[in-house]
Amino acid sequence: MSADDKVEIIQILRDIKSKVQENSTMLKKILKDNTVPEVPSSTCVPSKNLKLPLRTFEDVARTEMELKNTTTRKKYHITIQRRGQEPQPQRYLADTNLFTCPFCTSQICKPRQYHQIVAHIAGHKIRATEYGGYVIYSCGLGCGQKAKHFHCCQCPQTYINKAAIKRHLCSFHPLPPAAPDPPRETPSLPPAAPDPP
């Protein structure tokens, strides 16, 4: 870590400490007066990770909980799943012996037996594209005018084919480069013993 990085980190920590002290003072006043004053704009600290204006500690805690909860995080489309999260067939309400695809309307994929829907979902997996920690499956839910399409995991755009969504993600939402692995030191071998005479 360079000296400039250390100085920058120390400055960030000082800023955080200052904001925490401001918020603590405000929270003490709220508890004392039992009233909620208008939050001064100086306490509105935009989080770099969440990209949300967080006004109180409760806002921070609630937002972090929502991001951890897979059903409410960033309101991702159902076809955008975390890597390792397997899509499951859904029971058809009109006949509980049948199942439907979570990514298609019943007009596109008719309710069928469990093993048939599992095979259909396997087709979605083959056509899926991965980006960061997410898997983006093809959507057949009739969103907008496009029949089958892919939803971007970072913005509201949709694309009709896998190549277009990949191009969009790489152009408009590039992933940060991965940190290179530190070079490994190869163990030095002791010199070979001379052959006995």
Segment 29-52, tens digit of pLDDT:
665 655 444 444 333 333 344 444
- For residue 84, the enclosing domain spans 76-172
Q: What is the pLDDT of residue 192?
A: 64
Is the domain of 38 the same as that of 90?
no
> What percent of the chain is modeled with pLDDT above 90?
32
Last residue of a domain, one of 15, 48, 68: 68
Report the distance separating Cα 12 and Cα 7, nearest Å.
9
Question: What b-and-e string marks burial along 63-101, b requiring 16 or more CB atoms within 10 Å of the CB?
Answer: beeeeeeeeeeeebbebbbeeeeebebeebeeeeebbbb
Is the domain of 54 the same as that of 11?
yes
| Angstrom distances, CA of residue 172 to CA of 51, 62, 79, 166, 175 | 17, 29, 20, 10, 10
Q: Which pTM does this prediction carry? A: 0.54
Tokens of 136: 């983006």
Q: Which of 153, 116, 111 is nearest to 132 (CA)?
A: 153
Q: What is the pLDDT of residue 57?
A: 56
Kindly give the pairing relationship between strand 90-91 and strand 99-100.
antiparallel
- Residue 50, domain member (yes or no): yes
Identity of the highest mean pLDDT range in 3-7, 51-55, 65-69, 114-118: 114-118
Is the domain of 83 the same as that of 151?
yes
Is the domain of 59 the same as that of 120?
no
- Residue 163, domain member (yes or no): yes
Tens of pLDDT, residues 103-153 = 999 888 999 999 999 999 999 999 999 998 899 999 998 886 667 899 999
Is the domain of 52 the same as that of 81?
no
Give the pLDDT band of residue 13 (cuts 50, 70, 90).
confident
- Residue 181, domain member (yes or no): no
- Residue 99, domain member (yes or no): yes
Last residue of a domain, one of 39, 68, 97: 68
**pLDDT value at 170 more than 60:** yes
Is the domain of 13 the same as that of 51?
yes
In the chain, the number of structural domains is 2
Give the pLDDT band of residue 156 (cuts 50, 70, 90).
confident
Is the domain of 90 the same as that of 38?
no
- Residue 179, domain member (yes or no): no
- Residue 189, domain member (yes or no): no
Is the domain of 82 the same as that of 17?
no
- Residue 108, domain member (yes or no): yes
Is the domain of 84 the same as that of 151?
yes
- Residue 87, domain member (yes or no): yes
Is the domain of 81 the same as that of 168?
yes
Is the domain of 64 the same as that of 98?
no
Is the domain of 136 the same as that of 163?
yes
Last residue of a domain, one of 68, 98, 117: 68
Q: Are 136 and 77 in contact (CB under 8 A)?
A: no
